Amino acid sequence: MSLLRRSSPSLSADRINVSFEFFPPKTGDMETQLFESVSKLAPFNPDFVSVTYGAGGSTKQPTLNTVSRIHRETTLSTAAHLTCVDASREEVDAVVREFWDVGVRHFVALRGDPSGGIGTRFKPHADGYANAAELVAGLKAFADFEISVSAYPEKHPESPDFMTDIDMLKRKVDNGATRAITQFFFDNDTYERYVERVRRAGIYIPIVPGILPIHNFGQVARFAGMCGASIPTWLAERFEGLEDDAQTRSLIAAALAADQVMDLVERGVHDFHFYTMNRAQLVYAICHLLGLRGRAPQAEDKAVAAA
């Protein structure tokens, strides 16, 4: 049943927990957009917000600055992404200390994309962490961090098979990961089959669905092709002929994402991670459709909007 035909969507609001992902801005205008988005979404009281991180620490300072400002000016729990691409263990550990000093206690630990780009071969640094499992162990050796890691309902594009992929997830969990956030997907049956595989492998941490609102279908389709996520035919058909109609695209995207989440709620899922692309309006509309209603902004939140 479509969400839009439900008589009381708010009845499900207490069954839904959300988190939001942002990326560090590259310009002053992008920084303004980012913090306007943080301010607009903060009233939904997310479990946490996360900020992404570039290969080899290429965005370390922007990520650190963004995390620091969110931590300083809001009441939001903030997680920093961390990768081990093109960096020694000593260099990664130094970055961890910097995040610790600004109050970060939650990391999203990722191996990271190859420095040559998606599709090229990953080469571990000679003195670095070879993969995300080793990075998780290094973080746990530093402090008892909360650690989220990635999961792939359609398997990681570099994994030869699901067994290899899930074995890597198990290694991350054995080393201390407490949550997995999935690559985005659009077929909920695919997610459900993946969770069944994971549970059969003895992995019992939360597998949080990563939800990607479709701001631009062409861009999402291209990115999906690079990272091994499939685009169902029915989904592509929903956006046919709308290349020059951004308003209608947004309406359809909000309804589709909200329906996807509500279907997952009916299957027993309650936690959702939204890839915001630093744009609040569509994510805000989706959360509203789901019956979520935000608290009034606190003083710290207002400081972000006024900055």
Q: pLDDT of 5-40, one tens digit each? A: 443 444 456 689 999 999 999 999 999 999 999 999
Q: pLDDT of 72-118, one tens digit each? A: 999 999 999 999 888 899 999 999 999 999 999 999 999 887 665 56
pTM (2 d.p.): 0.90
pLDDT > 90 in the chain, percent? 77
Residue 261 has pLDDT above 90, yes or no: yes
Domain that holds residue 171: 3-306
CATH number at 242 reads: 3.20.20.220
What pLDDT is recorded for position 300? 45
Residue 253 has pLDDT above 60, yes or no: yes
User: What residues have CB less than 8 Å from 249, skipping those under 6 apart?
Assistant: 214, 215, 216, 217, 239, 242
Catalytic residue numbers, as ranges: 21
* Overall domain count for the chain: 1
User: What residues have CB less than 8 Å from 32, skipping those under 6 apart?
Assistant: none
In whole angstroms, what is the distance from residue 303 CA to residue 307 CA? 6
Question: Best-predicted range by mean pLDDT among 109-113, 203-207, 243-247?
Answer: 203-207
In whole angstroms, what is the distance from residue 274 CA to residue 215 CA? 13
